[in-house]
Amino acid sequence: MSFRIPIEYLLTLTLGAGGAFVASLLDMPAPYLVGPAAVVTVASVAGLKAAIPSRLRDLAFLAVGLSMGSGVTPDVLAATRQWPLSFVALLFMTVLLLALGWVLLRKVFRYDDLTAMLAACPGHLSYVLSLAAGTKSDLASVSIIQSVRVLALTLLVPLIVEIQGLSPPGNLALPMSVGPTAVLLMALPAYGLGQVLQRVRVPAALLVGGMIISSAAHLTGMVEGVIPFWLQMPVYVVLGCMIGTRFAGVSAGDLKRSFLAGLSVTVVVGLFSAIIALAVSHGLDIPLDAALIAFAPGGLETMAAMAVILHADPAYVGTHHILRLVYLSILMPLLLARKRTL
């Protein structure tokens, strides 16, 4: 048996690691995802035969699922009783933004139905890319459009919140991490469940399996804490590299079109989410800064951290973002299954 690792795997991962390092030095948002994606994308467009081992990609999806499930805790469920009308508004906004983004991408930019739906998903970047990887959608366009949304909102939301005159940033309290043994004890049954889900053709089966097992472990109190940073960092590097490998053969015209589409979608969803946040703030007496961050369709990790740094009620913000991701985790596979039956 040969253990030789193809040179394209080593080169791709090396470029991705270098991109992550540079992005972290530059204090870019989500550096371990954005940096590798940017560097490997440039290399792929330039003609490099970039590739990621399928087994490594699958393990990364499993780890993302475990990370997602760690946010579904008894405290989150208890918090849902405090702001019921706000959560109703959140679910309404999620469907509205998905519909608006889909119409814009389908009717104006002429993307196919599946690509438009995945690219219009208002959040859950890693999950959407995992879903897209198992479909016949244009993953390169989905990656660009979704990445533009995440980057733009990560940069703009704190600017808007700062204009509201918040107090100076405080110290960021890092959440407790689970130990390696707990990670392994969740990963093994999650992998088994993922294999079962793959047999019945569930989209992103390993990711969904990881989320189910991790959610159950956290809800029952068997496990407490988030997936440790030492595991999250290489996982995001692998996902970033995977994004970049999808750009081989993509023309400059297609890149320009997807980037413009991403900016357009970001403006539309950002505007409507801000309007709904303003209505919730005034109608339910929620601080505007917390409402703006909670309803912004940006990344969970960055928005939750932003709430702590900007003193914007992290419990309110974090609960809303977690519930939005849980809702999208249920909604998107149902929509995909419906598309496949049409």
pLDDT at 118: 92
Residues 6+ apart with CB under 8 A from 338: none
| Digit-coded pLDDT (tens) for 24-83 | 898 776 678 778 888 888 888 788 888 888 889 888 888 878 887 787 778 767 766 778
Q: Residue 339 above 60 pLDDT?
A: yes
Q: What is the length of the chain?
A: 342
Mean pLDDT of 87-101: 95
Q: Which position has the higher pLDDT, 223 or 4? A: 223
Q: What percent of the chain has pLDDT over 90?
A: 27
| Digit-coded pLDDT (tens) for 254-304 | 788 888 999 999 999 999 999 999 999 999 988 888 898 889 987 665 566
pLDDT at 336: 81
pLDDT at 116: 94
List beta partners, residue 226. Answer: 177
Distance CA 202, CA 209 (A): 10
pLDDT at 281: 93
> What mean pLDDT is reported for the chain?
81
Task: Give the other-Cβ count within 10 Å of 101's Cβ.
Answer: 26
Q: What percent of the chain has pLDDT over 70?
A: 82
pLDDT at 307: 65
Q: Lowest-pLDDT range, 70-79, 113-122, 183-192, 224-233?
A: 70-79
Q: Which two tokens stand for residue 38?
A: 């940017």
Distance CA 211, CA 193 (A): 10
Q: Lowest-pLDDT range, 30-34, 101-105, 168-172, 214-218?
A: 168-172
Q: Residue 1 above 50 pLDDT?
A: no
pLDDT at 109: 94
Q: Residue 166 above 60 pLDDT?
A: no
Task: Give the other-Cβ count within 10 Å of 30's Cβ.
Answer: 21
66 burial (CB, 10 Å; 0-12 / 13-18 / 19+) is buried
Q: Residue 90 above 60 pLDDT?
A: yes
C-alpha count within 13 angstroms, C-beta hemisphere, residue 206? 18
225 burial (CB, 10 Å; 0-12 / 13-18 / 19+) is middle
CB 202 within 8 A of CB 340: no
Mean pLDDT of 153-181: 62
pLDDT at 154: 64
Q: How confident is the model at residue 3 (pLDDT cuts 50, 70, 90)?
A: very low
CB 94 within 8 A of CB 327: yes
Q: How confident is the model at residue 340 (pLDDT cuts 50, 70, 90)?
A: low
Residues 6+ apart with CB under 8 A from 77: 219
Q: Lowest-pLDDT range, 27-31, 45-49, 170-174, 245-249?
A: 170-174
- The helices-and-strands tally (H runs, E runs) of the chain is 15, 0
Residues 6+ apart with CB under 8 A from 304: 314, 317, 318, 321
Q: Residue 206 above 50 pLDDT?
A: yes
3-state helix, strand, coil in the chain (%, to 5): 75, 0, 25
Would you give the distance in Å from CA 96 to the centre of its chain?
A: 19
Q: Which amino acid is at 62?
A: L
Judge if pTM exceeds 0.85. no
pLDDT at 168: 44
Distance CA 50, CA 282 (A): 50
Q: Which two tokens stand for residue 185?
A: 């004890």
Element (H, E) at 56: helix 54-69
124: left (phi over 0), alpha (psi -120 to 50) or beta: left
pLDDT at 110: 92
